[in-house]
Amino acid sequence: MTTQKSGEPMTDSTIVTDSVKRFKWIGTRPIRPDGVPKVTGRAQYGADLKLPGMLYGKVLRSPHAHARILSVDTSAAEKLPGVKAVMTAADLPQQKFDYIGPERVAQNFWHITRNIMAREKALYEGHAIAAVAATSMSIAEEACALIKVEYEVLPHVIDVDEAMKPGAPLLFEDMITRGVEPAPTTPSNVSKRLEFGIGDVAKGFSEADVVIEHEFKTAAVHQAYIEPHACVAKYEADGQCEIWSSSQGHFAMRALTAQIIGAKISDLRVTPAEIGGGFGGKTVTYLEPVAATLSKKSGLPVRVMMTREDCFRGSGPTSGASMWVKIGVKKDGTITAMDGIFKFQAGAFPGSPVMNGCLCAFAPYDVPNQHAVGYDVVSNRPKAAAYRAPGSPISAFAVESVVDMCAKAIGMDPLELRAKNACRIGTPTIAGPKHAHAGYFETVKALMDHPAYQVKLGPNQGRGVASGYWFNGAGESSATMQVNADGTVLVATGSPDIGGSRASMAMMAAETLGVDYNVVRAIVSDTGNIGYTHVTGGSRVTFATGMAVVNVTKTVIKDLCKRAAILWDVDPEGVIWEDGFAKPAGANVGDFKPLSLREIAAKAAATGGPITASSGVNAGGQAPGFATQFCDVEVDPETGKVTILRFVAAQDVGRAIHPSYVEGQIHGGVVQGIGWALNEEYIYNAKGQLDNPGFLDYRCPVASDLPMIDAVLVEVPNPTHPYGVKGVGEVCICPPMAAIANAIENAIGLRMSELPMSPPKVLEALSAKG
Partner 1 sequence: MTVRVAFTSGFARRYTGGTRDFDIEARNLRGVVREMDRLFPGLAHALEEETTVAIDGELYEIDFTQPVKDGGEVFFIPKIEGG
Strand 370-378 vs strand 595-596: parallel, antiparallel, or unpaired? unpaired
According to the binding rule CB under 8 A, does residue 370 interact with partner 1?
no
Stretch that binds partner 1, among 17-25, 98-106, 594-602, 607-615 (CB under 8 A): 98-106
> 540 or 583, CB closer to partner 1?
540
Q: Which long-range contacts (CB under 8 A, 24 or more apart) does 162-168 make?
A: 162/379, 163/189, 163/345, 163/377, 163/378, 163/379, 164/188, 164/189, 164/190, 164/343, 164/375, 164/377
381 binds partner 1 (CB under 8 A): no
The CA R_g of the chain, rounded to the nearest whole Å, is: 27
**Shortest spacing between CB 280 and partner 1, in angstroms:** 3
Is 494 one of the binding residues for partner 1 (CB under 8 A)?
Answer: no
Residue 100 makes contact with partner 1 by CB under 8 A: yes
The rounded distance, in Å, linking the Cα atoms of 502 and 658 is 11
CA 591 vs CA 568, 584, 585, 708: distances in Å: 9, 7, 9, 58
CB closer to partner 1 out of 53 and 101: 101
From 82, 487, 621, 759, residue interacting with partner 1 (rule: CB under 8 A): 621
Residues 317-356 contacting partner 1, CB under 8 A: 355-356
Residue 380 within binding range of partner 1, rule CB under 8 A: no
* Nearest to partner 1 of 574, 625 (CB atom): 625
Count of Cβ atoms closer than 10 Å to residue 465 Cβ: 29
Of 539 and 742, nearer to partner 1 (C-beta) is 539
Contact code string over 569-608 relative to partner 1, x by CB under 8 A: ----------------------------------------
Cβ proximity of 248 and 278 under 8 Å: yes
Q: Tell me the closest approach of the beta carbon of residue 278 to partner 1, in angstroms.
A: 8
Task: Please report how close the Cβ of residue 233 comes to partner 1 at its closest, in angstroms.
Answer: 26
Q: Which of 340, 353, 345 is nearest to 377 (CA)?
A: 345
19, 113, 283, 553: which one binds partner 1 (CB under 8 A): 283
Helical (H) or strand (E) element with 114: helix 109-116
With binding defined as CB under 8 A, does residue 618 bind partner 1? Answer: yes
> Which one, 226 or 606, has the nearer CB to partner 1?
226
Judged by CB, which is closer to partner 1: 621, or 664? Answer: 621
390 makes contact with partner 1 (CB under 8 A): yes
Q: Restricting to residues 162-201, which ones interact with partner 1 according to CB under 8 A?
A: 179, 181, 194-197
Q: Is residue 435 a contact residue for partner 1 (CB under 8 A)? A: yes
Residue 368 neighbours by CB under 8 Å, 6+ apart: 198, 199, 204, 336, 428
Residue 22 or 434 with smaller CB distance to partner 1: 434
Q: Which of 475, 487, 664, 707 binds partner 1 (CB under 8 A)?
A: 475
Nearest to 735 by CA among 361, 444, 400, 423: 400
Q: How far is the CB of 346 from partner 1 (least distance, A)?
A: 14
**Which residues, other chains included, contact 604 with Cβ-Cβ below 8 Å and sequence gap of 6+?**
483, 485, 563, 610, 611
Residues 255, 265 contacting (CB under 8 angstroms): yes
Report in angstroms the alpha-carbon separations of 561 from 487, 492, 581, 582, 601: 15, 22, 9, 6, 12
The answer to whether residue 540 forms part of the interface with partner 1 (CB under 8 A) is: yes
CB of 279 to partner 1, least distance (A): 6
Nearer to partner 1 by Cβ, of 414 and 546: the residue is: 546
C-alpha span between 393 and 377 (Å, rounded)? 18
What is the spatial distance between Cα 731 and Cα 666, in angstroms, rounded to a whole number?
9
The contact set with partner 1 (CB under 8 A) reads 100-105, 179, 181, 194-197, 223, 279-281, 283, 355-356, 359, 386-390, 425-426, 431-436, 470-476, 537-540, 618-622, 720, 727, 730
